[in-house]
Structure formats: structure tokens, C-alpha cells
């Protein structure tokens, strides 16, 4: 197919993203069992960070490769005059790249709309929002300014200490920006259209985020553990409410075993949500690696090599 200058750039960007992302997704998928096993030996908050990084790694690196290598090399070295032929392999890879991004954006938009519609049905009562429907719900909705929503049935079922403990759990989700991380998971494309290759990683991430929120809720007050465990049991007995949106945190998440959470809360070895030095080490490493990567990309030889690969892909 003969394409003009700008459409060739779009096609190459989508094709390059798909190929790099597919290779990295395959590598990450192979590492997933080992990562899940290692995460099980970490504190809940650290485990959640590890699994989130693993899930977002393929898309993040592929986007960086396209933005930092593909686009600069094409703009600086490709001739603007005339149209050129683009082969079927490049076109097919570009179509797959467009498909996986369309699917990820569509599911994210659908989840955001469902979350917004649910919040519109609630009414504000001070610092919380009340859902007057019969379905039991306690959780957070929203990304930028998350709203704590409590259904009337849950508020009536919990005593003051239990409700306070449950609210502290949800505030822990808010301070960790877990709803934003949920959005990133939805936006992260799959290796192939309609293929959920990281379902086990995402389920484990949900489990560890609930454990981490439990730990943070009781870290400042050990006596809160019993109230939080009782709140979990009481809300679970009300019945599982239909998930309004994947972008909303649920106090009793249907994908997380309640019995395990209760056992952890009643265990004397529950982990405190402390800031780990490893996080500072990782941040320092990233700050060192980023300038080095920028310097490498800025080299003319690097751009020429990348442009040569793009020319071969386009043919």
C-alpha cells in the first residue's frame, strides 16, 4: 500500500509498538510465575508495587521506545517528499497495534462512565456519600478526587467502631491512589486483542492491595484489627453487590478471599505499612538511568540504526 509521509509515521509507530510490546509481554508473562512466588514473601504493599510494575512494564517500555526512538529517527531522517510503499507485515502489525489500544481505551472509558453514573445516584453527607439503593456497598469512586461511598444498608449493619475501621481501610486505598492504578491496569493493552494474558497478575495485585489497605488501616491502632475483621464479616453477610465499575474499590471485593483477610487481621504478625528503603533505591536508580537513556537516544548513530530497522519493517 502506498502511504504519504504522515500516515507512514502513524503506521510505523503502531507497528513498532505492537511488535516491541508483544515481545516484552511474552517475556513478562514468562516471568509472572516467579514474580508471583516472590511477591508472596514480601510485605503486601511491596508485593502490590512489584506486580503493578510487572503489568505495566511492556506497555511503558514500548511507548518509550516509540516516543524516544521511532518518532525522532523518522522525523530527522525520513524524506518528506512523495509517498512510499508499506508492506503487508507492517500494515498487519499496525492494525494489531491499533486494535489493542482501541480495546484498552474502550474498556477504560466504559468503566469511567459507569463509575460516574453510580456517583451521580449518591447524595453527599459531610465527608462521605450515601448510596440509598438496596445493594450493599462501601468503597471509593473517582480518580482525581475519590469519593467515599457508603450504602444505607452497610451503614445500618455496622456499629461505630466497625464503620470507622472500614472507612480507614478505604482511606488507605485513597492515600495509595489505588483507583488511579486500577485505571492504569485498564489502559495497559494486552499482547493480542481480547487476550487477557496477565489475568493472574492482576488478580494477585487486587488481593495484595486489599491486604495492604488492611495493614495501613490498623497500623496506628492494633485494637482496630478486630473491628475491621468484624466489619468484613458483617458486610460480606449482606451479600455481594454487583460491581458498579472496575474503577471503584470495594470494601468486600468479590475477587479476594474474605476468610484470608480476617485471618490476617486477627494474626499478631500483621505487617505494618512502613516506608521501605527499597523504594528509595529504585527511585534513585530510575533517576540515574533516565539521563543515561536520553544521552544514548540522542546519538546520531542510534537514530540511524533505528531508522534502518524502520525501513526494513516498512518494506
- How far is 282 from 285, CA to CA, in rounded Å? 5
The length of the chain is 315
Comparing 24-33, 102-111, 144-153, which segment has the lowest mean pLDDT? 144-153
Sequence spans of domains, the chain: 2-314
Residue 82 has pLDDT above 70, yes or no: no
Quick one: average pLDDT of 169-192?
A: 94
Using DSSP's 3-state secondary structure scheme, residue 153 falls into: helix
How many beta carbons lie within 10 A of that of residue 258, not counting itself? 17
Its pTM stands at 0.87
Q: Is 145 exposed, middle or buried (0-12, 13-18, 19+ CB in 10 A)?
A: exposed
Using DSSP's 3-state secondary structure scheme, residue 267 falls into: coil
Position 256 confidence tier, pLDDT thresholds 50, 70, 90: confident
pLDDT of residue 17: 96
H-type helices in the chain, by residue range?
Answer: 5-39, 44-65, 71-77, 88-120, 152-157, 160-175, 178-187, 199-218, 224-237, 258-266, 277-297, 300-314
- How far is 148 from 150, CA to CA, in rounded Å? 7
pLDDT in tens, 41-67: 999 999 999 999 999 999 999 999 999
pLDDT of residue 275: 46
pLDDT in tens, 113-130: 999 888 888 888 888 899
pLDDT in tens, 188-222: 999 988 888 899 999 999 999 999 999 999 987 77
pLDDT in tens, 10-29: 999 999 999 999 999 999 99
Angle at 158 between CA 175 and CA 122, to 5 degrees: 60
- How far is 12 from 37, CA to CA, in rounded Å? 38
Residue 298: closest CA among 68, 60, 63: 68
What are the grid coordinates assigned to 235, written together?
Answer: 458486610
- How far is 220 from 103, CA to CA, in rounded Å? 42
What angle separates helix 178-187 from helix 88-120, to the nearest 10 degrees? Answer: 150
Average pLDDT value for the chain:
86
Amino acid at each position: 500500500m502506498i502511504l504519504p509521509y504522515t500516515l507512514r509515521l502513524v503506521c510505523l509507530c503502531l507497528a513498532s509498538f505492537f511488535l516491541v510490546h508483544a515481545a516484552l509481554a511474552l517475556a513478562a508473562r514468562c516471568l509472572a510465575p516467579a514474580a508471583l512466588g516472590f511477591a508472596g514473601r514480601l510485605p503486601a504493599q511491596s508485593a502490590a508495587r512489584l506486580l503493578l510494575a510487572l503489568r505495566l512494564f511492556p506497555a511503558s517500555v514500548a511507548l518509550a521506545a516509540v516516543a524516544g526512538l521511532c518518532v525522532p529517527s523518522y522525523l530527522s531522517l525520513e524524506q518528506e517528499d512523495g509517498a512510499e510503499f508499506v508492506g503487508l507485515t507492517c500494515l498487519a502489525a499496525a492494525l494489531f497495534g491499533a486494535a489493542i489500544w482501541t480495546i484498552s481505551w474502550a474498556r477504560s472509558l466504559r468503566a469511567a462512565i459507569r463509575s460516574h453514573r453510580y456517583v451521580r445516584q449518591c447524595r453527599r453527607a459531610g465527608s462521605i456519600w450515601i448510596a440509598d439503593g438496596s445493594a450493599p456497598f462501601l468503597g471509593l469512586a473517582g480518580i482525581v478526587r475519590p469519593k467515599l461511598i457508603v450504602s444505607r444498608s452497610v451503614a445500618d449493619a455496622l456499629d461505630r467502631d466497625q464503620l470507622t475501621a472500614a472507612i480507614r481501610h478505604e482511606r488507605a486505598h485513597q492515600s495509595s491512589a489505588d483507583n488511579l492504578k486500577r485505571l492504569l491496569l485498564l489502559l495497559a493493552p494486552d499482547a493480542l486483542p481480547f487476550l487477557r494474558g496477565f489475568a493472574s497478575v492482576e488478580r494477585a495485585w487486587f488481593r495484595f492491595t486489599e491486604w495492604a489497605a488492611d495493614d495501613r488501616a490498623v497500623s496506628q491502632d492494633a485494637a482496630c484489627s478486630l473491628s475491621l475483621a468484624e466489619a468484613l464479616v458483617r458486610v460480606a453477610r449482606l451479600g455481594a453487590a454487583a460491581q458498579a465499575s472496575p474503577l471503584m474499590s470495594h470494601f468486600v471485593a468479590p475477587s479476594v478471599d474474605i476468610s484470608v483477610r480476617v485471618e490476617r487481621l486477627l494474626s499478631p504478625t500483621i505487617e505494618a505499612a512502613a516506608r521501605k528503603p527499597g523504594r528509595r533505591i529504585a527511585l534513585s536508580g530510575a533517576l540515574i538511568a533516565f539521563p543515561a537513556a536520553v544521552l544514548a537516544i540522542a546519538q546520531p548513530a542510534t537514530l540511524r540504526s533505528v531508522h534502518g530497522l524502520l525501513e526494513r519493517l516498512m518494506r
